[in-house]
Amino acid sequence: MNANIYEIFNSIQGEGIYVGTRQVFVRFCGCQLSCEYCDTKEARSAVKQCRIDCRYIDNPLDINTAIDVINYLWTPSTRSISLTGGEPLLHIDFIKELAEDVPKLYLETNAGFPEYAKDVADQIEIAACDIKLPEHRATDDYPRLLDAELQTVEIFHSRGVETFVKIIVLPETTEKSIGSAVLGIKSIDDSIPLVLQPVTPVNIDVRQLLDLMDFAGSHLSNVRMIPQLHRSLNIP
């Protein structure tokens, strides 16, 4: 089993409810979306070599090499393996085989593939599910994407995976534009954590952020505003 992987590295989780946690990151290549704010555009397509620290290994990477690299990068304070991208759910067979040999998989997904989520849910311990907004311009068919994302959240949540949702806030984001996502999460379980993440490096008005939190908080019991930590620390 092999996969096209952009990079593998050890760093600090900079987003979501596990911000500040040490992880080994496996960044897969390939993504079906084209979000305007994406900060990993280089991982949307396949690359010839996978970066590991300051060296490179030819792609595609076989599963045993990936496991060896993960074990090499593991440290005493490391707590999980972040499967990120790109979109890791495009590599579910690789993930299922990886899960047989490494601990605690933390999935960072755009949640656009509920059928793949269903297939890999038993191997995932934590699922960080993005929900896109119309202003993200991620796809030409936003209603279809939102429906798929909510299905994915429901699948992971119902299968006992620790699940939270992340929404990127742009300057033009309003209560109306997050409304369908918030109500969709509420229809699954209003206790699912929602992280509103201000886009970087743009400065978002604090009043706007607080108003969005209050709107979401009127429907959900666990709403947080968490900016990207790794950008402020200038780390991967």
Which residues make Cβ contacts (< 8 Å) with residue 164, sequence separation at least 6? Answer: 16, 17, 127, 128, 129, 192, 193, 194, 195
pLDDT tens digits in sequence order for the chain, 236 residues long: 999 999 999 999 999 999 999 999 999 999 999 898 887 888 889 999 999 988 999 999 999 999 999 999 999 999 999 999 999 999 999 999 999 999 899 999 999 999 999 999 999 999 999 999 999 999 999 999 999 999 999 999 999 999 999 999 999 999 999 999 999 999 999 999 999 999 988 789 999 999 999 999 999 999 999 999 866 677 66
Sheet holding 22-28, edge to edge: 55-58, 49-52, 5-12, 22-28, 78-84, 105-109, 126-130, 162-169, 194-198, 223-225
Is residue 207 classed as helix, strand or coil in its secondary structure? Answer: helix
Q: What is the CB neighbour count within 10 angstroms for residue 129?
A: 28
- In order of 18, 26, 111, 129, 214, the CA distances from 87 in angstroms are 19, 11, 9, 11, 31
Asked if 156 and 119 count as a contact pair (C-beta separation under 8 A), the reply is no
- Hunting for tokens 């909510």 — which residue is that? 150
Q: What is the CB neighbour count within 10 angstroms for residue 29?
A: 24
Asked if 46 and 92 count as a contact pair (C-beta separation under 8 A), the reply is no
Domain limits, the chain: 2-166
Nearest to 164 by CA among 191, 145, 183: 191
Q: What pTM was computed for the model? A: 0.95
Structure-block tokens of residue 81: 């393996």
In this structure, CATH architecture of domain 2-166: Alpha-Beta Barrel (3.20)
